[in-house]
Amino acid sequence: MKPSQTKPGSANGTGGHANANAVVAQAAASGSPDIFARCTRNPEIDLYRSADQLGLNPFYREIEGEIGPTVIYQGNEVVMLGSNNYLGLTTDPRVRKAAHEALDHYGTGVTGSRLLNGTLSLHRELEEFLAGWVELPSALVFTTGYTANVGLVSTLVQSGDAVFCDSAAHASLVDGARLAAGTLRAFQHNRPNSLRHGLRSWRSEPGRGGVLVAVDGIYSMEGDWAPLPEVRAACDDHGARLLVDEAHALGVVGPGGAGTAVATGVRADLVMGTFSKSLASCGGFIAGPEDVIEYLRVSCRPLLFTASNVPASLGAALAAAKIAQAEDWRREAVLSLAHRLRSGLAELGYEVGRPTTSSIVPVRVGDVLSAAVLWRALLDGGVYTNCSIPPAVQRPMLRTSVMATHTEAQIDRALSVFEDIARHGVVDAGRERLVGLLEPELELDATAP
């Protein structure tokens, strides 16, 4: 990526902020705070713009064409290690056909909510399949995975109740807890004893309500599994219900790709899943007891006041789910290729964390600037990765992930680029050149909250 070529005085360049800054100044002079002030005087925005000018902004990159094992970025073919297309189904002819058939039959959209005119026969068929897949009685489809978690938690956890979230739980679970009328409590990541301590403290006080414990089956950044047997035992001992977010596990692990709860033999009270990863589409679902699902149907505001899924996304998700359940070779391939990538990176000296059974391979980096330099060097070498920085993660990292449809040659090609970067000290040299170009107050603490 080249440094920003936007002219400073253009409407979209730094000069384009003049009017906003003038309004802020006028508001300050009048003694009236302006709600836009945080948008123009914000260290994070300053860092974002500086990174853009230096060619180190890893966000909102535009991909040309379909998302497969390789993609076209700025006219060049690069190996895609930054997608959640774990089973490689976004380009499968059967999934494409199902999406086209739904489009032809139902049109481009339903222009209404699930409650009113936005429920199709495809919803019912998909919900029945998903419930059976994750071995729970009933399921409810949402427009996105984010709204599924937000809707479930904010609707279920009422005043006097509590939701206990793993500290590494997905933002949608945390946001749902913040919207809920009940109390949000966090426990240390993958530490069942921390959960037990919190539950024991909660139950020791009189008048406490119900408790929901929320964990990711596979965590999105590091690819590590939740210790579900221990978490389930803690829930049982303290009368709590267990929600397992299977977004990064569904299709990838467990018998028929049913996820971590089925894989470990743990009874989850509720399961969340998403269509935007292994199922090659967009949407999400909650599965659980019939009375809970019925309660969500009539009480969940993020469901009731959101437009329903476009038909093509439902058709694609249903076809992908059936393929994902049936074709074990995809699970075998994605896990084997992830192991190949992880082992290769470890041999090259990269910090990749503990081995896990998932499609996700983290590459931990010392600080934010080093992460950006590594991301840029990889992209220039023909490898697309995702750069994750605080507060999304505790320490900067590149999040890589593989697809079942990658070839070993493509993984080896990516490893070769990583090797060249390590051999030539590209990250340290690039970081040294760039130190001082950014404002000191924006620098480089790897562990900043």
Q: Rounded CA gap, 375 and 238, in Å?
A: 45
Q: For residue 26, is pLDDT > 80?
A: no
Q: What percent of the chain has pLDDT over 90?
A: 82
More confident residue, 446 or 440: 440
Q: Rounded CA gap, 84 and 223, in Å?
A: 12
Q: Which pLDDT score is estimated for 34?
A: 92
Q: Which pLDDT score is estimated for 242?
A: 98
Q: For residue 400, is pLDDT > 70?
A: yes
Q: Rounded CA gap, 54 and 68, in Å?
A: 28
Distance of CA 50 to the CA centre of its chain: 26
Q: Which pLDDT score is estimated for 363?
A: 98
Q: Which pLDDT score is estimated for 27?
A: 60
Q: For residue 10, is pLDDT > 60?
A: no
Helix (H) or strand (E) holding 138: strand 138-142
Q: Please enumerate in sequence order all residues whose Cβ is within 8 A of that of 239, keeping only pairs 6 or more positions apart, or say none.
A: 203, 210, 211
Vertex 210: Cα angle to 220 and 286 (nearest 5): 40
Distance (Å) of CA 225 to CA 111, 229, 390, 422: 38, 11, 21, 29
pLDDT tens for residues 199-258?
999 999 998 999 999 999 999 999 999 999 999 999 999 999 999 999 999 999 999 999
Residue with tokens 């089973």: 87
Cβ neighbourhood burial of 8 (10 Å; 0-12, 13-18, 19+): exposed
DSSP secondary structure string for all residues of 371-382: HHHHHHHHHHTT
Q: Rounded CA gap, 356 and 342, in Å?
A: 9
Q: For residue 18, is pLDDT > 60?
A: no
Q: For residue 288, is pLDDT > 60?
A: yes
pTM above 0.85, yes or no: yes
Q: For residue 56, is pLDDT > 80?
A: yes
Q: Which pLDDT score is estimated for 433?
A: 86
Is the separation of the CB atoms in 226 and 244 below 8 Å?
yes
pLDDT tens for residues 152-175?
999 999 999 999 999 999 999 999
Comparing CA positions, the residue from 202, 176, 207 lying closest to residue 187 is 202
Sign of CA dihedral 235, 298, 110, 173: negative
**Residue 44's pLDDT band (boundaries 50, 70, 90)?**
confident
pLDDT tens for residues 330-388?
999 999 999 999 999 999 999 999 999 999 999 999 999 999 999 999 999 999 999 99
Q: Rounded CA gap, 222 and 220, in Å?
A: 6
pLDDT tens for residues 258-277?
999 999 999 999 999 999 99
Q: Which pLDDT score is estimated for 201?
A: 97
**Residue 28's pLDDT band (boundaries 50, 70, 90)?**
low
Distance (Å) of CA 188 to CA 40, 162, 165, 229, 300: 35, 16, 9, 16, 29
Q: Which pLDDT score is estimated for 432?
A: 86
* Gyration radius of the chain over CA positions: 23
**Residue 314's pLDDT band (boundaries 50, 70, 90)?**
very high
Q: 153 is written with which tokens?
A: 């938690």
Ordered structural domains, the chain, with CATH: 42-87+329-442 (3.90.1150.10), 93-326 (3.40.640.10)
Q: Which pLDDT score is estimated for 434?
A: 84
**Residue 2's pLDDT band (boundaries 50, 70, 90)?**
very low
Mind spelling out the 3-state secondary structure of 245-257?
ECCCCCCCCCHHH
Mean pLDDT computed over every residue of the chain: 92
Q: 76 is written with which tokens?
A: 């060049």
Q: Rounded CA gap, 434 and 368, in Å?
A: 12
Q: Which pLDDT score is estimated for 321?
A: 98
Helix (H) or strand (E) holding 387: strand 386-388
**Residue 438's pLDDT band (boundaries 50, 70, 90)?**
low
Q: Which pLDDT score is estimated for 5?
A: 41
